[in-house]
Amino acid sequence: MSLKILLINPWIYDFAAYDFWLKPLGLLYIGGLLRQNNHDVHLIDCLNPYHPEMRKRYGSTLKRRPYGDGKFFRQIIEKPEALKAFPKSYCRYGIAPDIFRQELQAHKDADLVLVTSAMTYWYPGVFDAIKIIREEIPHVPVILGGKYATLCRDHAVKFSGADVVMGGAGELQILKYLEARFGRKPSFVPDEENLDSFPYPAFDLIGIPEQLPIMTSRGCPYRCSYCSSPVLYKKFLRRDPERVADEIEYWQEKLKVVNFSFYDDALLAEPSKMITPLLTALRKRRLKGQFHCPNGLHLRNISQELSDLLFATGFKTIRFGFETADPARQTQTGGKVKNDELIRAVDRLKKSGYRSSDIGVYILCGMPGQSAEEVQQSVDFVLQCGAKPILAEYSPIPGTKMWAEAAVCSPFDILNEPLYHNNSLLPCADKRFPYVAYREIKKKIREAELPF
């Protein structure tokens, strides 16, 4: 007999949040697998910008963009004790709590609740969701997984209120749990080493899928000291590019989706193994989509041929991970890119038809030991190359190579309080990178005139 399983994508609690093509991909992958095993799966998406009840209550004025990104509903809430000193308002992004309660009431007969989590410092929204689940549908076991549960496992076990905290990839763990707890032997078990053996995510549970995330791989071949990819994934695994094209074609036909966002850590690494055959397949099948890469791409691999292909296939939002123009720091942090590679890549992208304002280049700021001068020089370098600098504030992440250094230099207790991982606090910024310098650099970026 099938079980009724309720998936929950909790709220974001933060000073600011914008929906940059954000969807609970990991949770929906698990949903797809549970369905394949004949379970009855439902979703409550606390971040749903199209929730009918919210639209009825607050009107349809929420600004969404044609590419599928946009604003969330938000309500100002009280700051947690640890953030009281910060003079910014703190918000709950997503649906109102009473609407969440109503939705839970409709699923009183659930056998199991699965809650996901994203950024480590968003845990208060996760905790509130679990608390309300306990109040509305007590006696239903609650399992917590996702990024926060993986990276801050001890904290989650101690404080989240979930019955079980599962770190790491959830697919096989959930199947094992269902067998141990409910005696349900799985009828279908995917091969963890073969990403194409996983059923598609249960995207049809999303109310209005104005855009969908796609993942062609898990992990990354690089090992940058500030990044948690090497902590989260032991290996770099890829799908077959033809199967990825099948998936995009499937969602275009079934849900009429045009906009797709790639969540890969290394979409452009070794282009002949993924991006080139994938885009060639999309073009052969005459699939017309609009593609977005909010997560930084690798610059090193941009040949003229690849750049032309990206442009012709409809890659609209392209963002690159450059992080710094300081050659010493580039080498120390992992060596994923060099300055001449940025110059070359921008030149090729412009030849293909991209404008300067289309080519977003992330610059990490607020890293331990990083001066304002280094950040400013990196910004200037990106502007000289003819691209658009985007500041990415450093968030310290447990388990990364930089973590010990981050803990030593931060004035905040990042070891015990994940709220202090919040990038907008610049929690590890050096004395030589004061907040005023950050504001000044941001202003200069806003005012900079980009060449065409």
Return the one option of ligand SF4, ligand B12, none that residue 190 interacts with (CB less than 5 to 8 A, by type).
Answer: none
Name which of residues 260 to 279 contact ligand SF4 (CB under 6 A).
265-266
Name which of residues 314 to 333 contact ligand B12 (CB under 6 A).
none
Q: How far apart are CA 68 and CA 70, in angstroms?
A: 7
Residue 363 binds ligand SF4 (CB under 6 A): no
Name which of residues 313 to 332 contact ligand SF4 (CB under 6 A).
321
Residue 426 binds ligand B12 (CB under 6 A): no
Residue 37 binds ligand B12 (CB under 6 A): no
Residue 218 binds ligand SF4 (CB under 6 A): no
Residue pair 234/193 in contact (Cβ under 8 Å)? The answer is no
Nearest distance, CB of residue 347 and ligand SF4, angstroms: 22
Residue 220 binds ligand SF4 (CB under 6 A): yes
Return the one option of ligand B12, ligand SF4, none that residue 100 interacts with (CB less than 5 to 8 A, by type).
Answer: none
Return the one option of ligand SF4, ligand B12, none that residue 174 interacts with (CB less than 5 to 8 A, by type).
Answer: ligand B12
Name which of residues 32 to 61 contact ligand SF4 (CB under 6 A).
none
Q: Which amino acid is at 60?
A: S
Stretches 82-90, 98-106, 218-226, 382-390: which one binds ligand SF4 (CB under 6 A)?
A: 218-226
Q: Which of 91, 119, 375, 382 binds ligand B12 (CB under 6 A)?
A: 119
For residues 373 to 392, the per-residue mask of contacts with ligand B12, x marking binding by CB under 6 A and - elsewhere, is -------------------x
Return the one option of ligand SF4, ligand B12, none that residue 222 interacts with (CB less than 5 to 8 A, by type).
Answer: ligand SF4
Nearest distance, CB of residue 284 and ligand B12, angstroms: 27
Residue 186 binds ligand B12 (CB under 6 A): no
Q: How far apart are CA 402 and CA 395, in angstroms?
A: 11
Return the one option of ligand SF4, ligand B12, none that residue 150 interacts with (CB less than 5 to 8 A, by type).
Answer: ligand B12
Residue 257 binds ligand SF4 (CB under 6 A): no
Q: Which of 17, 349, 359, 402 binds ligand B12 (CB under 6 A)?
A: 17
Q: Which of 44, 104, 227, 372 binds ligand B12 (CB under 6 A)?
A: 227
Nearest distance, CB of residue 306 and ligand SF4, angstroms: 17
> Site residues (CB under 6 A) for ligand B12?
17, 20, 22, 25-27, 29-30, 114-116, 118-121, 143-147, 150, 166, 169-171, 173-174, 215, 227-229, 232, 263, 265, 294-295, 392-393, 395, 397, 421, 423
